[in-house]
Amino acid sequence: MNKPYELLIFDWDGTLADSIGRIVEAMNAAAERAGEASSSDAAIKGIIGLALGEAISTLYPHLDAVQVEVFRQHYADIYMALDQQPSPLFDGVAESLEAFRADGYRLAVATGKARRGLDRVLKANGWERYFDITRAADETRGKPHPLMLEQILAHCQVEPHQALMVGDSAFDLQMASNAGMHSVAVGYGAMSLQALSEFGPQVCIDHFSQLREWLACSRTVNSKVGKHG
């Protein structure tokens, strides 16, 4: 059967890993350490996906560059302490990625995490081998700029229409659109499916395993079109 896509690209926090609660906790603990007011859960979830410095500046626009860097370091220290045992993967993620690899999909990660943090969680889970390439926010342009995806596409020698971005934030879906790619919205992470549906995803899912089901259905449709088209 023809695969509908060659390359599946995943956000990390809130899409593959159940880490949103830790991010919220670390952000508010960092705010307290920096002498700033805490933010609501909704406000913090609304900046997840951005590079950390940009996320802090969005939440606390009165901070100058030096203050943002101090805040960023507080957050990094606190999150590292909270994440000694890396956040677990969502139900169905490990099995699905194994199945995707077996089906011949190429896999990648495009995340707002820093490279050091991403490498740490990949190593802790033994996941380095799953992905053809990973891109972190501190080594390229942050979301929703498309450069992160463009670099992944170039590395894998895949055209935008052959790739699919899977994410839980508006920034993920906007980045995909900016790169000329299709996207899938997941509703169990930072943002609701109602909010994400405004950004034109191909499908909205509320459990990771539903991505396998949708892709399998898409393969069947493609196969029938190939036979009768």
Active site residues: 11, 13
DSSP string, 148-210: HHHHHHHHHT--GGGEEEEESSHHHHHHHHHTT-EEEEESSSSS-HHHHGGG--SEEESSTHH
Where b means 16+ CB within 10 Å and e means fewer, 25-38 reads: ebbbbbbeebebee
Q: Residue 12 gets which letter from DSSP? A: S
Which tokens hold the place of 208? 């990771």
d(CA 185, CA 202): 8
The CA distances from residue 50 to 28, 125, 155, in Å, are 17, 23, 23
